[in-house]
């Protein structure tokens, strides 16, 4: 069955080119040109991916993203933006975007990001009923709930994905490049220090105020998650 992609883009020429390329790649494509119609179509149909331009009329892309995520936490969304500031990118990711791409972009880069987002989403669906535990930390994929010592912890999507990947590789030193490739995508073109920034976010939420630290830095190499029990459990 063909994967369905919703394109939200108000520049007709760009929307047409993207639609043609994605159709040629074997996707089923629909395009809308404003935020109001995007929200309507997002609710009416099931999409394998939404390609969402930020600067669109009626309702801007960030607000469309926010409203979609209130009801749908799983559909992959890639933001398309003409803005190149770190703030806009981080803001989009923190509001639930899976990835972003900045105009102007090469079509091959866009196609690669689409493939990566859909592949990651399919993997998450296959493993959606997994509950991971390390010491007193428990992560439930299906509910996207994180609890430590009975306290529920709120994480952004990127923080959650980073934590899950680390918990899938307990007691292993993970390099920055590994984490970038697996959590941000192999074609991520930003600074590698974004890993350090998000590790810092996780530590504040997952470790600070609890009995002991689970996230550790291996100087000059990378990071690892390790419990006092030195064991990891994963159950369906």
Q: How many CA atoms lie within 13 A of 33 on its CB side?
A: 7
Q: Give the residue among 219, 223, 222 at the shortest CA–CA distance from 206.
A: 223
Q: Where are the alpha helices (DSSP H) in 84-179?
A: 86-94, 107-126, 157-167, 176-179
CA distance 204 to 206: 6
Highest-pLDDT range among 84-98, 127-141, 194-208, 216-230: 194-208
Domains of the chain are: 4-126 (3.40.50.2300), 131-235 (1.10.10.10)
Check pLDDT > 70 for residue 123: no
Report residue 236's pLDDT band, with 50, 70 and 90 as the boundaries.
very low
pLDDT at 155 > cutoff 80:
yes
With a CB cutoff of 8 Å and minimum separation 6, the contacts of 179 are 162, 165, 166, 195, 222, 223
């Amino acid at each position: 069955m063909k994967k369905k992609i919703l394109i939200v883009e108000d520049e007709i020429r760009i929307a047409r080119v993207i639609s043609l390329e994605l159709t040629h790649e074997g996707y089923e494509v629909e395009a809308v040109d404003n935020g109001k119609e995007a929200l309507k179509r997002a609710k009416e149909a099931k999409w394998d991916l939404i390609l969402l331009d930020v600067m669109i009329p009626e309702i801007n892309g960030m607000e469309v993203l926010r409203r979609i995520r209130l009801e749908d936490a799983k559909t992959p969304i890639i933001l398309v933006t003409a803005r190149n500031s770190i703030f806009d990118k981080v803001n989009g990711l923190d509001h639930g975007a899976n990835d972003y791409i900045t105009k102007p972009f090469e079509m091959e880069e866009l196609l690669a990001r689409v493939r990566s987002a859909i592949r990651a989403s399919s993997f998450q669906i296959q493993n959606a009923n997994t509950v991971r535990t390390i010491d007193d930390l428990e992560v439930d994929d299906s509910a996207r709930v994180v609890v430590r010592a009975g306290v529920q912890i709120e994480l952004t999507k990127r923080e959650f994905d980073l934590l899950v990947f680390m918990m899938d590789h307990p007691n292993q030193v993970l390099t920055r490049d590994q984490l970038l490739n697996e959590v941000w995508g192999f074609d991520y073109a930003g600074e590698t220090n974004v890993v350090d920034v998000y590790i810092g976010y996780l530590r504040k939420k997952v470790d600070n105020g609890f009995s002991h630290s689970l996230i550790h830095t291996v100087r000059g190499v990378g990071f690892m998650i390790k419990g006092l029990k030195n064991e990891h459990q994963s159950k369906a």
